[in-house]
Amino acid sequence: MEQPAIKITGLVQKREQFELGPIELVIPKGYVTAIIGPNGSGKSSLFRLMLNLTKPDLGEIELLGEKVGVNDDHLLKQKIGYVPEQAIDIEDHLRAEQKTDFVRKWYPQWDVNRYQELLRRFEVDTSRKLGRMSKGMRRKYDISLAMAHNPELLLLDEPSSGLDPIAWKTMIEVIHRYMEQGDRTVLMASHIVDEVKRLADYIVFVIQGKVIGMYEKDTLLESWYVLYLDAGDNRHVDWRAIPGFQSVESTGGSMFKVVTGQAQEAQSWLETSELRVIGQQKLELDEILQRLLEQVRGV
Ligand SMILES: Nc1ncnc2c1ncn2[C@@H]1O[C@H](COP(=O)(O)OP(=O)(O)OP(=O)(O)O)[C@@H](O)[C@H]1O
């Protein structure tokens, strides 16, 4: 198998009121992977560990084949772009162009044309002080800065936070174009369903500090369906026998609404049953997350 972009093994970080892990995770090269999960599930903590900004209690992380936090990692960091969830306050007094002058020295592959192009597309004025920029403006600057050296691996922690709809569309286009090179990798945390649907090839669900699954996006969206069923005169249906059964709800008379996480198997099973499929509808990603969350919490 080709070397993955990210390999996380037995990773644990214990905090007073929160435990991340143990996490085992392999993120493939050349794709966009989205991490989704509720607030406080550990997404940003995971990014900080990858950047060696905090240390794990157990386990290890490999980025682009190199272990994080073991040797001098400045060469590794040159291959990575990172947009943190929150801008760094201590830089507020700097003008954006001053920060750029500082940052670009760390990256031999810094591409001034690419940087200027990103600033132009995002309409960022770099003569402003960072602390005086609006949240969205600062985000757009941070994204431009993180991508100007054309990193092999781009780590984006809620990149669209604060972006207006036009800037959001620009960001989607910018990431699509970046991915066209074929060998680039994005790992992004996001709460925006539309963003994940448009960008992600793979989805990782993180809940309560644990990875509860990694799925190929299209397969996942094809697996979760609401099925509208007519039970006819059948009074004692064994709903749990339906493959991937999640829930059932009466919608009046002999009609029922069933959610399954194994749509194809459920459809085949239903063909041989006395239940009649009247209609069907895909679940949205946020609804799928909600269902997975209920499973984890044992609701
Ligand atoms: N420096 C810290 N010290 C102690 N606990 C922390 C620290 N940073 C984060 N936490 C805790 O770790 C947990 C995970 O937080 P984290 O920011 O990683 O979640 P998240 O999934 O990124 O959330 P969100 O979607 O709200 O951004 C939370 O319970 C948070 O309170």
Q: Encode pLDDT of 128-174 as tens digits.
A: 999 999 999 999 999 999 999 999 999 999 999 999 999 999 999 99
Q: What is the rounded distance in angstroms from the CA atom of residue 241 to the CA atom of residue 269?
A: 9
Residue closest by Cα to atom 17 of ligand 1: 44
Q: Tell me what percent of the residues of the chain surpass a pLDDT of 70.
A: 99
Measured in Å, residue 15 CA sits from the centre of ligand 1 at 9
Mutate to test the pocket of ligand 1, among 20, 23, 35, 41 (most ligand atoms within 8 A of CB): 41
What does the DSSP 8-state code read for residue 89? G
Task: Give the pLDDT of residue 190.
Answer: 92
**Residue 192, Ramachandran bin (φ over 0: left; ψ between -120 and 50: alpha; else beta):** beta
Which range among 52-66, 79-93, 231-245 has the greatest average pLDDT?
Answer: 52-66
Report CA(46)–ligand 1 centroid distance (Å): 9
Q: Are residues 109 and 244 in the same domain?
A: no
Q: What per-residue confidence (pLDDT) applies to 91?
A: 81
User: Residue 139 is part of which domain span?
Assistant: 6-220
Judgement on whether residues 205 and 231 belong to the same structural domain of the protein: no
Nearest-CA residue for ligand 1 atom 29 is 40
Cα gap 125→144, rounded to integer Å: 12
Q: Distance between the two ends of the chain, CA-based, in angstroms?
A: 38
Q: Bridge partners of 7?
A: 26, 62
Task: Give me the interface pTM, i.e. the ipTM.
Answer: 0.95
**Across all residues in the chain, what is the average pLDDT?**
93
- For residue 289, being part of any structural domain is answered with no
Q: Is 112 a member of any domain?
A: yes
99 and 168, same domain (yes or no): yes
Res 174: pLDDT: 96
Task: Point out the ligand 1 atom lying closest to the alpha carbon of residue 191.
Answer: 25
Residue 203 lies in a domain: yes
* Same domain, residue pair 249 and 180: no
Q: Provide the whole-model pTM.
A: 0.91
- What is the distance in A from the centroid of ligand 1 to the CA of 49? 12
β-strand pairing of 202-207 with 32-36: parallel
Q: Which residue has the tokens 């947009």?
A: 83
Q: Does 270 lie in the same domain as 166?
A: no
Is 17 a domain residue? yes
Q: Which of 13, 17, 18 to mutate to test the pocket of ligand 1 (most atoms within 8 A of CB)?
A: 18
pLDDT for 217 equals: 95
Ligand 1 pocket residues where CB is under 6 Å: 15, 18, 37, 39-45, 85
Q: Does some domain include residue 293?
A: no
